Structure 1
Amino acid sequence: MTKRSEAKYKIDRRMGQNIWGRPKSPVNRREYGPGQHGQRRKGKLSDFGVQLRAKQKLKGYYANISERQFHGVYVEAGRLKGDTGENLIGLLERRLDTVVYRAKFVSTMFAARQFINHGHIKVNGRKVNIASYQLKIGDLIEVKEASKQLAIVL
């Protein structure tokens, strides 16, 4: 797992959107970008710029996954039958960290990655500590017995 290299709020402000839905995000207060040159006028984005911004938002939304991981998921989505965009979202939603976050075991996507990495999750009765683990239909996800007393789970 790679660490997020930048501040979450700075990423929010650069994208111009509250990506993770955090209530204290500065996007709610300041509409301009971060840094010394943030208040200058923004130029119109090219087609490539629009696509790049969309890709970066998607990467950021799923706990800021690395370019290498994202590329692997994209290649797999292209290999599957059907619409590549829908397949991409489907594969990203089947990751263990996303499912743990959606199941409301933890409050944020980043907390889900840490929760999994610390070995608190079992899949089909076996401990899994890989956040990018791809789940299959019918997999049983549960919190370890010893971890059920943790304050974050309660």
Structure 2
Amino acid sequence: MTRYDYKYQRQKHTRVLRPQRMNRVSRPALLNLFMGLLIGSGASLYYAWQISPVQYLDNDPYALREEYANDYLLLIAQKYSIEKDIRVSRAYLTDLGVDQPGEFVAARAEYMIAAGHSSADITAMAELAKALGADTAKMKSFLS
């Protein structure tokens, strides 16, 4: 490339320095990368296992929030629709802390009908309510 030299009023031929590409990664760079990954992994595992480990809590079903309690009730109904064991379903409902399980399940089934939930979920809930002795007019169309 030619440049103009203003001091001597002439063109000056200079070589342009271009950055050279590295064809290979140097061994110290790879060693530093590997050591950094090793130290970072070790430090994170130490933190996760020793300093701040996971604490598992077992909550009772009666302590669930309303939306989770409704999901739990639906799981009980689905389990009943598969196994047809009312004793197990009653045990789960007592864990939920329901005084009158039949009316509670029937009320939830009617709410699901009004809210437009899936027919399979409503059918499972209606079958459980009928097995518990609560049968309403709205649920009759979902019972076979």
TM-score by length of 1: 0.22
| Bigger Rg, which one | 2
